[in-house]
Amino acid sequence: MQTTTTETLEPNPPEKSFAPKDKSGSIVRLLVGFGFLSVGATAIGLGGLSLWAHMNQLTIDNAIVNARIVRIRAPIAGQFNAVYANPGTPVKAGQVLARIKPSMPQEQALLAQQGERQTHLAQLLAAQQSLVQSQQQLAQIGQSGTAVAVVDSTLAQSGVEAKRSDVEQARSKVAEARAIYQRYAALAQEGAVTQLLADEKRISVETAEAALRGTEAGLAQSQTSLNATQSGVQTSPSSLNLSDQRSHLMQVIQTQTSVVSTLKADLDRIDQQIQQAQSQFSDQKDFVITAPTSGVVYSVASEQSEQVNLLEPILTVLDCQDIWVEGIVSAQQAGQLNPHQPVQVSLAGESTPLQGEVEMLQAVANTPVTATNMTQLQALTPPIKADLAGQALMRVIVRVQPTAKMTQPQTFCGVGQVAQMTFTKKSLAF
């Protein structure tokens, strides 16, 4: 019996493929990974930069360009006869801006002002003489050490003589003024001169008479003091010793010096007003208003033919040579910024930032500053953010080099332009 052997044939193993594998998917994944890493690094860098800026810089985004203005007030009451400048017009110092025709009461006021000058002059001369007497008395006390009563008697005698001389001079001035007035009054009746001019001479007479009364009163007082000292009555306090008397005289001299200075200042003020009024009246008696400084006309408060009152604001001139950028911050923020480091200023509408320097840090008062009795002011009041309400505030002024826009009169030298200021904070001490 034959045995049949069956062989099981195994399948041939698959042949190995030597074709190159597709690596594009791995490369894409690798690039994507690097991309995410780059984005993450950039985000971290920007975040770090933002954190650094927050910690080391302070930004004010509600700043404005500001400038000095000179507000011109009406020196007299009257009517605007002509206005030669409109807002935005460039002007030079001394340029005629307007004319005011004075009212008749204003001309009378000018004459009264001249009479006031005469009164102030008489008061000044009397105060100066009293000061000289006190200085002489103090010098005699210091040099000789003689009794106060003797010094009083000597000075009282010299004071009487000086007062008599003053009275004689005052009487001569009264006589002269009366003669001049009588001549002008007669000319006025004949129509040769105006009655206004005659009234001016009459006021001069009244002023001279007032000065005479003052000198006569001074003579009477000096004569009383002389009589008292000659009778043995000591005019100075008997309880005062020489040292106390010297101290008393020094106080008197200090007070008299202050009085003389005040009267001089008043007299100079009146002289300036009279000189200005007389020099600036034209043939038609128009008062000429000139620009006090070079710049740009910022505003005109009155129009031609309008009536204006004394010291009423009529024109405002913008000084384009005095421009700055300013903003309002809290006192806490002001304490953080470093005023000695440069400030970056970005103006609205301009791509290139400017470099500036902190000029002033000023506390903002609780009540706003008004223009009463002031002529030099700033053009605008910087805005205050709502979140600063109720806090102590500081005004920050930064000086910058003027840009081209700041030199254009039609844009009012850039005043009112919104700006952003970035400051360096003070270094933290650890």
Among 91-105, 228-242, 251-265, 272-286, whose mean pLDDT is lowest?
A: 228-242
The reported pLDDT for the residue numbered 6 is: 46
Residue 402's domain spans which residues? 58-70+319-424
Closest to 166 (Cα-Cα) out of 139, 128, 200, 193: 128
- Give the mean model confidence (pLDDT) for residues 338-349: 91
Kindly state the tokens that stand for 360.
């002033």
The reported pLDDT for the residue numbered 22 is: 54
Task: Encode pLDDT of 149-202 as tens digits.
Answer: 554 566 667 677 777 888 888 888 888 888 888 888 888 787 766 787 778 788
Flag whether pLDDT at 430 surpasses 50: no
Length of the chain: 430
The reported pLDDT for the residue numbered 419 is: 94
- pLDDT band, very low/low/confident/very high, at 372 (cuts 50, 70, 90): very low
Do 217 and 162 belong together in one domain? Answer: yes
- Give the mean model confidence (pLDDT) for residues 384-411: 86
Flag whether pLDDT at 75 surpasses 70: yes
How far is it, in rounded angstroms, from Cα 202 to Cα 381?
51
Flag whether pLDDT at 280 surpasses 80: no
Do 253 and 147 belong together in one domain? Answer: yes
Among 73-82, 358-367, 412-421, whose mean pLDDT is lowest?
A: 358-367
Residue 204 falls within a domain, yes or no? yes
User: Among residues of the chain, what percentage have pLDDT more than 90?
Assistant: 16
Do 271 and 332 belong together in one domain? Answer: no
- pLDDT band, very low/low/confident/very high, at 265 (cuts 50, 70, 90): confident
Kindly state the tokens that stand for 59.
């930004």
403 within 8 A of 414, measured Cβ to Cβ: yes
The reported pLDDT for the residue numbered 406 is: 78
- pLDDT band, very low/low/confident/very high, at 411 (cuts 50, 70, 90): confident
pTM score of the predicted model: 0.47
- Give the mean model confidence (pLDDT) for residues 127-147: 73
The reported pLDDT for the residue numbered 65 is: 93
- pLDDT band, very low/low/confident/very high, at 45 (cuts 50, 70, 90): low
The reported pLDDT for the residue numbered 100 is: 87
Do 331 and 405 belong together in one domain? Answer: yes
Q: Which strands form 96-102's sheet, in the order they lie side by side? A: 287-290, 96-102, 78-83, 307-308
Q: What is the CATH number of the domain that holds 275?
A: 1.10.287
Angle between helices 242-280 and 104-144 (to 10 degrees): 150
Residue 94 falls within a domain, yes or no? no
How far is it, in rounded angstroms, from Cα 334 to Cα 277?
48
Q: What is the CATH number of the domain that holds 380?
A: 2.40.30.170
- Give the mean model confidence (pLDDT) for residues 382-391: 88
Kindly state the tokens that stand for 331.
């006192």
413 within 8 A of 296, measured Cβ to Cβ: yes
Q: 26 vs 337, which has greater pLDDT?
A: 337
Do 134 and 225 belong together in one domain? Answer: yes
The reported pLDDT for the residue numbered 42 is: 67
**What letter does residue 94 receive in the DSSP assignment?**
T
User: Among residues of the chain, what percentage have pLDDT more than 70?
Assistant: 70
Among 53-67, 92-106, 341-355, whose mean pLDDT is lowest?
A: 92-106
Angle between helices 195-230 and 148-190 (to 10 degrees): 160
Kindly state the tokens that stand for 338.
């470093």
Do 269 and 340 belong together in one domain? Answer: no
The reported pLDDT for the residue numbered 368 is: 46
Handedness of CA 178, 183, 187, 192 (dihedral sign): negative
151 within 8 A of 266, measured Cβ to Cβ: no
Do 275 and 358 belong together in one domain? Answer: no
How far is it, in rounded angstroms, from Cα 242 to Cα 342?
63
Give the number of domains in the chain.
2
Do 328 and 269 belong together in one domain? Answer: no
Closest to 91 (Cα-Cα) out of 264, 241, 274, 292: 292
Residue 346 falls within a domain, yes or no? yes
Residue 310 falls within a domain, yes or no? no
Do 66 and 155 belong together in one domain? Answer: no
Compute the mean pLDDT over every residue in the chain, rounded to the nearest whole number: 76
